Structure 1
Amino acid sequence: MNSPAPHIQPGPTRPVIRQLDESAANRIAAGEVVERPASAVKELVENALDAGARRIEVTIARGGKGLIRVSDDGCGMAPDDLPLALARHATSKIDGSDLLNIRSFGFRGEALPSLGAVGRLTVTTRAEGEAGATITTEGGLTGPVRPAAANRGTVVDLRDLFFATPARLKFLRTDRAETQAIAEVIRRLAMSRPDIAITLQGDDGQMLFRADAEDLAARLSRVLGSDFIDSALPVEAERDGVALTGWAALPTYSRGAAVAQHLFVNGRPVRDKLLTGALRAGYWDVMSAGRHPAAALYLSCPPQMVDVNVHPAKTEVRFREPDAVRGLMVSTLRRMLGGTGQRRNSAPLAAATLAAFRPEPEMARAPLKATAPLAPGFAEAQARIEPQADAPLADQPLGAARAQLHGNWIIAQTAEGMVIVDQHAAHERLVYERLKAEAEGAAGVPRQGLLIPQIVELPTDSCAALLAEAESLAELGLVIEAFGQGAVAIREVPAAIPRLDGAALLRDLADDLTDGSGAARITARREAVLSSMACHGSVRAGRRLSGDEMNALLREMERTPRAGQCNHGRPTFVTLKLADIERLFGR
């Protein structure tokens, strides 16, 4: 009996390779270049900047979905240039011979054809010595060039964005949210070019943003608020052809999210992980956990050192020498935060302190009561308690200590007002900076032997983790050894902190070592270990200090880098001006 022939499954149908038409290609490109109305605004404003515009006006309707109009007074285009301007990969900004020598915002030649593929685009322009002309494209279908009356420059009208790809409209947010995104794009571009006047107007005639040509500090104050400039320090450094300028806020002006971090590379706004990581590292030991620094930083370098052709949106970059760029940024920020400018507090911190002093409304409205005359001899008693010998100290930045409240708050008098100091936080920073300096020296951290070793009982795994790092800890001034089962003995401590709370420190270090990060954590995070030592070895709250001790603490704060914040980023002191205090009392 013959067996049935096996059933043969038909093979897969061979796909046919075909060339997409230009309209489909433009719509695909638009998906990368134009994600939302804010992306279209960014591309059009950048084109205006590349054209040498000195004034740019942006008008939007329905969050940019109904209308985006960008007018500029740049160089404009000749009538013969208009068809090419709407063709893909046609640009006047590069010749294609060197993609690492890009000195303009745009260079890919994709923006206008991509916008014309998904919306109704009209370009009206006139170059110096040329006649005005206009051209329209709708859904990728381009009409002829026609004469038009126009001033020198270019006006781009984009209406009904994504009408040719209606599915994209479903992914857009509300008109208000899209308007906010457009405003953020305008603000970032305004920060990149403070010498350019730029406006953003809504469809109801409301002026959403307006800035005339001005210097950088004025532009940042306009965009980020005067509180930012009042609380920021100027940044300026240069190394190996790379320059870093801008403004960075004091740690006391931190934010709850990274919304106030604005980074620019050769004038281009970017969102780069290398740079944001360097910004965090620069603030590492002066910023509270969960807080983010605020800064507007401008990195300038030869175009050959940075690749901006990483993503169609051109917001990501790659550096030829990333370690050098990161090192410049981190070292500059740390040096700035450790300089004399760190002696001052941010304006919001002082304002919040003054607000806390304001009387309650009920107290403010209470009628004044008659007061008894001063007791006899009051003036003589006041003279006796008023320190005279330290009067010249009031001219120092942190003034002369006058009192200690609740065992932790030092009140100092300055020439312009008063200073309130958190003695524990301040001493913690002083000890930390001293330990860092000693650890970086050739001799290492000086150690002091304990007359009686301090025995700390810990879980077996914690003991093993600590003892595995005993050699690294000894280099930092902490000498430990095993002491039976489940215990560690502290034999020596850093000489700078003889009253070290060794038990609390070892428990913290043990938790750090057994959290899954491995034993290399001590070596890799030396400064974090030193910070923990300083925290557990500094003057505790509740300790009474003499007048000499308080003044010695103030003088050392004035000499110590980053003395305005403790190791955890909290402020160590606040300054109150005499005029502000007088206003509290209606004087």
Structure 2
Amino acid sequence: MPIIRRLPENLVNRIAAGEVVERPASALKELMENSIDAGAGQISVRLSDGGLDAIEVTDDGCGMAPDQMALALERHATSKLPDEAIELVTTLGFRGEALPSIASVARFSIESRPRGAAEGWRRVVDHGEVVEDAPAALPPGTRIRVDNLFAKIPARRKFLRSGRSEYAACLDVVRRLAMARPEVGFVLEHDGRRVLSVQPGQSGPARVAQIVARELAEDGVIIDLERGPARLTGVAGLPTFNRGVADHQYLFVNGRPVKDRLLVGAVRGAYADMLARDRHAVLALFLDVPPEEVDVNVHPAKTEVRFRDPAFIRGFIVSGLRHALEGAGQKTAQTPAAPAMAAWTSGIGQVEPIAPAPAPALSSLFARQYAPTPNRVSEAGAAWRGYEAQVMAPAQDLPMGRAEAAQEAAPEAVRHPLGVARGQVAHTYIIAEAQDGLVIVDQHAAHERIVLERLKAAGAGDKVAAAQALLLPEVIELDEPSCDRLEEAIPTLAQHGLALERFGATAMLARSVPAALGKGDVQALVRDVADDLAANGDALLLGERLDLVLATMACHGSVRAGRALNVAEMNALLREMEVTPRSGQCNHGRPTWVKLAHGDIEKLFGRK
């Protein structure tokens, strides 16, 4: 029988470091969170070679006395849990593992001075062994330096990436924490170059726009909603302001940066009918809930959370985002593509002048028509005036025809945000004149959004969605837990048109399906709904599938590109856009209209 023994303390710390310290960015995150929990108002970070060579974090927090500093380097020693109520923790850190774990896999030096103390103290630990313990001179606060991470653990060192990749991960950590705490100032330097600097005391939206993308100030909507004990704030980009990857989605729970599948799925559901499947929204969401409603002690890295009521949280985020985007009306990202704008000006100054048509020779004209006689000088003058009217000023056509009643004056553009229609280009784009510029509308994309909102509004008015009964009920074989979950959700599923019955211990009987999904695979539909119930605790997938069907129906039922519209039809489309939610983008995230302001038009012609 193998003998059970206690592992050495340094080996225990290295094992724990495998969960807490995966790379330089993990160590940086723990150090910065400690600085924030210490009440720092300014945090400075210095990196060398992406953190592979050195990481230094300096703050002006409360500082530590020498005895407290020694205790902080022991495992499971922390000041953030004054009692045993771990479910009520409000600080970023609380496990007491980070500092001893980092000190066991690197050369770790910590200097700290409490406010009011005459001097500070310095303690150096080299891969778990204390090598220095002496006074130090520094201002109030704490300075921690980590050198040569995993230098004596080649098995871990070889799995680290290049300095550039590790720097990108460290930058992401600093940006997320800077957004989470706008009241704190942050400075990041990499290899002697200042990369990021934000001042303390900024508003949350201003901090997000400065860090994520300055365009969010114009192409985003402010979110501030409350429902029960939960509050959702932040900035959400318009659907037309999107990215090809999801690395610009920042999610926070009680001020803690997280990467949670439930929250990511909620964001995707909110933008479901406004973005193409390969595009992703740009946003920063801050969710605040009572501490007892969320479990942050899921993983040592503290980036995953569990909610007591995940269905409520997901529904709150989806409805909150959609409500905020609906409030934007027909607003859309109005930055025209640079190549398209360049095409407007590419031909300026290069147009070759057209040679004027040669005028008839003066001598031949007089010889044939206007030859004066010596005795009729007045007739010669009349002949010259006739030549002048015919040759020298051909553009001045003589009035002809009888006077007619004037047509009705064109409507004024000042009364409508999208202006009034003035014409159509290529039977696809409506040209409208607004008070402040020229509006170009994609008629198919605009009508597609209008039709989709009509279909959704019609469905929302009915408590029960239209259902299509199956000629022969379908039996779906599942495991017993999945059947139990489906049985509990039968009333909810019936509202969407999916009628199920329990059919033994491991089977369900489907009697009807949503009319919009009548031609789909019933077996696959019920299995996907069962998986959705297992993952999220609510039947979310069915509603999203119905939205996808409605989007397809709207696309095929809209005015097609290439159809000629009269002025009344064009104006009717513009007026309906002005009262339709989210009319600034189609169902695929493309803009439905763009505007050239008067200033832009004047620049095209060199008037500004």
**Do Structure 1 and Structure 2 share a fold, with TM-score over 0.5?**
yes
Match of 1:573 in 2: 593
Corresponding position of 1:125: 112
- Alpha carbons 1:56, 1:197 under 8 Å: kept: yes
- Aligned-residue offset at 1:302: 1.4
Q: What is the correspondence of 1:14-25 to structure 2 with a 5 Å cutoff? A: 14-25=1-12
Q: Which residue of 1 aligns with 2:39?
A: 52
Matched, 1:343 2:330: yes
- 1:235 maps to what in 2? 223
Summarize the Cα distance change of 1:164–1:198 in structure 2 as closer, same or farther, 3 Å threshold. Answer: same
Q: Which residue of 2 aligns with 1:359?
A: 345
Map of 2:60 onto structure 1: 73
Question: Does the 8 A contact of 1:342 with 1:564 survive in 2?
Answer: yes
Match of 1:539 among 559, 575, 592: 559
Tell me: CA distance 1:571–1:464, structure 2 relative to 1, closer, same or farther (3 Å): same
Alpha-carbon separation, structure 1, partners of 2:398 and 2:472: 63
In structure 2, distance between residues paired with 1:437 and 1:529: 14
Q: What code does the residue aligned with 2:174 have?
A: I
Aligned with 2:97 (options 99, 105, 110): 110
TM-score, L = length of structure 1: 0.81
Q: CA deviation at 1:424?
A: 1.6
1:179 paired residue among 167, 190, 193: 167
Aligned twin of 1:63: 50
Please tell me whether the aligned partners of residues 410 and 420 of structure 1 are also in contact (alpha carbons under 8 angstroms): yes
Residue 70 of structure 2: which of 83, 88, 93 is its match?
83
Distance 1:290 1:378 in 2: 62
| Contact 2:329–2:578 (Cα < 8 Å) also in 1 | no
Shift of 1:48: 0.6
> How far is the alpha carbon of 1:324 from its aligned partner?
1.1
Comparing 190-199 with 371-380, which one deviates more in the overlay?
A: 371-380
Correspondence list, 1:265-414, <5 A: 265-339=253-327, 341-348=328-335, 350-352=336-338, 355=341, 357-360=343-346, 363-366=347-350, 369=353, 375-376=395-396, 389-414=409-434
Q: Secondary structure at the match of 1:342?
A: coil
Using a 3 Å threshold, how does the CA distance of structure 1 residues 52 and 318 change in structure 2: closer, same or farther?
same
Q: Does the CA-based 8 Å contact 1:260-1:294 persist in structure 2?
A: yes
Note the C-alpha offset of 1:354: 5.3
CA displacement 1:244-291 (0-9 Å, x = unmatched): 000000111111010110001111111010101000111111111211
SS at match of 1:186: helix
Task: State the alpha-carbon separation in 2 of the partners of residues 465 and 375 from structure 1.
Answer: 75
Q: Would you say 1:27 and 2:11 are equivalent positions?
A: no
Distance 1:105 1:39 in 2: 14
TM superposition shift of 1:61: 1.2
Q: Which residue of 2 aligns with 1:438?
A: 458
Query: Which of structures 1 and 2 has the bigger CA Rg?
Result: 2
Following superposition, the deviation at residue 82 of structure 1 comes to 1.2
Distance in 1 between the 2:221 and 2:441 partners? 22
Letter of the structure 2 residue corresponding to residue 84 of structure 1: L
Q: How far apart, CA to CA, are the structure 2 residues paired with 1:132 and 1:405?
A: 74
Match of 1:201 among 185, 189, 212: 189
1:192 corresponds in structure 2 to 180
Select which of 123, 136, 161 maps to 2:124: 136
Indicate the SS of the match to 1:178: helix
Mapped to 2, the partners of 1:222 and 1:138 lie a distance apart of: 39
Which residue in the other structure is 1:497 paired with? none
TM superposition shift of 1:375? 3.9
Change (3 A) 1:375 1:185: farther
Distance 2:8 2:399 in 1: 95
Given that residues 205 and 222 in structure 2 are in contact (C-alpha distance below 8 angstroms), is that contact kept between their aligned partners in structure 1?
Answer: no
Does 2:564 match 1:562?
no
1:195-250 deviation per Cα after TM superposition (whole angstroms, max 9, x unaligned) = 211111123x1112111122223322221121122211111110011000000001
Distance 1:154 1:96 in 2: 25
Return the alpha-carbon distance in structure 1 between the equivalents of residues 208 and 256 of structure 2. 16
Q: Please give the per-residue CA displacement for 1:135-182, whole angstroms capped at 9, x wherever unaligned.
A: 111111124642211210001011111123221110111111111211
Alpha carbons of 1:445 and 1:111: their partners in 2 closer, same or farther (altered >3 Å)?
closer
Query: 1:252 aligns to what SS in structure 2?
Result: coil
Q: Relative to 1, partners in 2 of residues 1:547 and 1:509: Cα closer, same or farther, differing over 3 Å?
A: farther
CA RMSD of aligned residues (A): 3.1
Between the aligned residues of both structures, percent identity stands at 47
Residues 108-138 of structure 1, C-alpha deviations (whole Å, 9 max, x = no match):
1111100110001111110012231111111
Partners of 2:230 and 2:289 within 8 A in 1: yes
**Cα deviation code 1:320-374 (max 9, x no counterpart):** 11111111110011112222x23222143x34485254333xx345266368799
Note closer, same or farther for the CA distance 1:520–1:92 as it changes in structure 2 (3 Å cut). Answer: closer
Does structure 1 conserve the Cα–Cα contact (< 8 Å) formed by 2:334 and 2:595? no
Helix, strand or coil: the match of 1:581? Answer: helix
In 2, Cα distance between the equivalents of 1:317 and 1:513?
35
Which position in structure 1 is the counterpart of 2:86? 99
Deviations 1:47-78 (A, max 9, x none): 11111111111111122121111111000001
CA positional deviation for 1:520: 9.2
- Match of 1:420, SS state, is strand
Letter in 2 for 1:369: P
Distance 1:104 1:393, change over 3 A: same
Pair 1:397–1:19, CA change in 2 (3 A): same
Worse-superposed segment, 135-144 or 256-265? 135-144
* Number of residues of Structure 1 aligned to a counterpart in Structure 2: 515
Contact 2:496–2:542, Cα closer than 8 Å, also in 1: no
- For structure 1, which segment, 225-234 or 33-42, has the greater mean C-alpha deviation from structure 2 after superposition? 225-234
The 2-side partners of 1:258 and 1:290 are apart by 10
Distance 1:374 1:183 in 2: 70
Q: Which amino acid aligns with 1:32?
A: E
Paired position in structure 2 for 1:489: none
Q: Is the 8 A contact 2:329 2:580 kept in 1?
A: no
Q: How does 1:432-581 map to 2 (within 5 A)?
A: 432-442=452-462, 510=519, 513=521, 516-517=524-525, 524=543, 525-581=545-601
